[in-house]
Amino acid sequence: YQFNQQGKTTKKLTYDKVGQSWVLVKKADYTYLTDGKLDQILTRKTTDNGTTYTNDTHEKLTYDNAHISERLVKQWENNTWKNSTRTINEYDATGNQTFYAYYNSYFEMYNIWIGKDRKYWTYDSTGLLLSHWLDRWLPEALTFTPSRGQEYTYDANNRVTQLKHKGIINLYNQIGDYWTEDYVYNTLGQLFTETITYHTLIFPDNDQFITYTYNQAGLPIQKYIIEKIKDEEDLEVFTYVTAGR
């Protein structure tokens, strides 16, 4: 213990094996549902005497079957609980996540959450990922708007044959293609060629055509990159680059 000049206890100390002192500054209490899932977390801070606690944060979890569908965190301010952060998750019947949203503040005057991130996922009937989108928050509109995403195409063997990168292409928040990646596989199922095509000046990179070669063990040993460049006269010029394993 530590004592003040009057000899009264001011702080409780604990010591480890090497004599260093530790002071309790915060503790968390957990409560659970009848099925064993975590329900709430109450975090409290200690005062200088190490024995009196004041509220700090309160976290409440909501479930959709086996998954956490909402995580609500409140902060103790001016002797009352204030909304702090909120996370929402949604899942399909097979357990794949289809929606995520994170709100990092609460506008109490208008009773509205202020967002930060929002994501969507779509799948086919077999569970293959078809698209993934990220929305961004527009403060002036107090809502989300689509920002960027990817779309996937597969062959009969569930291999990705095309990946489209999409996003905002102008000041009017219109969505268009950024670049496309096309994949071709050999008879052994190994990646044989990859073509990268750019569709917007937002990413002014050069288109590329890539081929892969493998040894008898099936390990990649060489990668050929053919890059298409447009010179000042708009003539197509090809630069060849080879890279070993």
Q: Rounded CA gap, 93 and 161, in Å?
A: 27
Q: pLDDT value at position 8? A: 46
In tens, the pLDDT along 95-151 reads: 999 999 999 999 888 888 998 889 999 999 999 999 999 998 888 777 888 889 999
SS3 148: strand
- Closest C-alpha to 90, from 104, 76, 107, 69: 69
Q: Which residue has the higher pLDDT, 164 or 23?
A: 164
Per-chain mean pLDDT for the chain: 83
Q: pLDDT value at position 3? A: 45
The neighbouring-strand residues paired with 184 are: 193
Q: pLDDT value at position 232? A: 42
Q: pLDDT value at position 33? A: 93
Residue-wise burial string across 107-139, b where 16 or more C-beta atoms lie within 10 A, e elsewhere: eeeeeebebebbbbbbbeeeeeeeeebbbebee
In tens, the pLDDT along 20-78 reads: 656 677 888 999 999 999 999 999 988 765 667 889 999 999 999 889 999 999 999 98
Asked whether the predicted pLDDT for residue 241 surpasses 90, the reply is no
* Residue 17 confidence class, pLDDT cut points 50, 70, 90: low
Q: Which two tokens stand for residue 18?
A: 């090497």
Residue with tokens 């357990």: 95
The predicted model scores a pTM of: 0.74
Residues of the chain above pLDDT 90, percent: 46
Q: Rounded CA gap, 109 and 139, in Å?
A: 15
Q: Rounded CA gap, 162 and 152, in Å?
A: 6
Half-sphere exposure of 45 (CA within 13 A, CB side): 8
Q: Which residue has the higher pLDDT, 7 or 139?
A: 139
Neighbours of 197 (CB within 10 A): 14
Q: Rounded CA gap, 188 and 221, in Å?
A: 16
Report, in angstroms and rounded to the nearest whole number, the Rg of the chain calculated over CA atoms: 28
Q: Rounded CA gap, 53 and 74, in Å?
A: 17
Asked whether the predicted pLDDT for residue 239 surpasses 60, the reply is no
